[in-house]
Amino acid sequence: MDPIRLLIVDDQPLVRQGLRAVFTPLDDITVLGEAANGVEALELMRRTTPDVVLMDVNMPWMSGLEATRRIFSGGSPDTAPKIVILTMYDQDEYVFEALRAGASGFLIKDSSPAQLVEAVRAVADGGALLSPMVTQQLIREFVRRPVLPSAAGAELKSLTGRELDVFRLIVQGYGNAVIAEKLVLGESTVKSHVQHLYRKLGVRDRVQVVIYAYENGLV
C-alpha cells in the first residue's frame, strides 16, 4: 500500500516543525510539504496532490476556512484531499463552517503525537473526526434552523434497504465495527455499503452524511 501523502498548513514555523517531526519517522505517512497560509496551501496542493491536509484555521492572506471552501467549490469531492482542521479550542467558531465546507473533522493543536497519527490514518481511510462537543454544536445549529423542504427523496430512494440501515447508524455516530455488529455483517461489507451510499448521496465522508441528514430534516 502506498504511504499516505500529507500536507501541513500552519502560519507558525515551530508548529509546522513539530508536526513534521511527528510524521517523518513513519513508513506509512509521507510529508509532501508545508504551507504558511491558504494561498500557499492551494498552490502546493495543485503540485503535490496530497491525500490529507492538516489545516490551521487562523492564518494571514487566506484562512484555513476559505482555503477549504475553495478546495470543495469545484471539481470532484472524490479527488479532493481530506481536510483536518487544526484549532486551539474545540469551541472554535470556525469549526462548524469548516465542516460544512467539506472538512472531515478537526484536531486540537495540543493533541498527542499518537492522536495526530491516528487521526491522519483514520481520515485517509474514509473516517471522520468529531469530538462530542463539536457533534453537539453541529446538532444544535441544525435544530435551531427552520427545516427546508427536503430535496433528498430521490437520493434516499436510490439506497438499498441495507444501505439505508447503514445510513441511519452513521447518523447516530457509530463506526464501521459497531455497525457490522449491529447488522450482523462483515466489516468489509459495511465498508462497501458506506462507499456506495457516499456515492449515491454525493457526500465524501461520515461528517457530510450527518450534515446531509440534518439539512434535509431527516433527523
Q: Which CATH architecture has domain 147-215?
A: Orthogonal Bundle (1.10)
Query: What is the Cα–Cα distance from 12 to 75, expressed in whole angstroms?
Result: 30
Q: Which of the residue ranges 131-145, 162-176, 178-192 would you say has the lowest mean pLDDT?
A: 131-145
Question: pLDDT tens for residues 34-63?
Answer: 999 888 988 888 888 899 999 888 788 888
Chain-centroid distance, C-alpha 164: 21
Contact present, 216 and 155 (Cβ < 8 Å): no
DSSP class of 205: S
> Which residues, 6+ apart, have CB-to-CB distance to 170 below 8 Å?
179, 194, 206, 209, 210
Looking at residue 9, its pLDDT comes to 92
Contact present, 205 and 127 (Cβ < 8 Å): yes
Decide if pLDDT at 7 tops 90: yes
> Which residues, 6+ apart, have CB-to-CB distance to 91 below 8 Å?
133, 137
Please, is 184 exposed, middle or buried when counting C-beta atoms within 10 Å of its C-beta (0-12, 13-18, 19+)?
A: exposed
Looking at residue 141, its pLDDT comes to 61
Give the residue from 70, 102, 84, 99 showing the smallest Cα distance to 10: 84
Looking at residue 8, its pLDDT comes to 92
pTM for this prediction? 0.70
Could you state, in order of their start, the residue ranges of all structural domains in the chain?
4-139, 147-215
Looking at residue 34, its pLDDT comes to 92
Average pLDDT, the chain: 80
Looking at residue 219, its pLDDT comes to 59
Looking at residue 169, its pLDDT comes to 86
Average pLDDT over residues 168-197: 86
Average pLDDT over residues 146-170: 75
Strand order in the sheet with 29-35: 29-35, 4-9, 52-56, 82-87, 105-108
High-pLDDT (> 90) share of the chain, % = 10
Superfamily of 4-139 according to CATH:
Response regulator (3.40.50.2300)
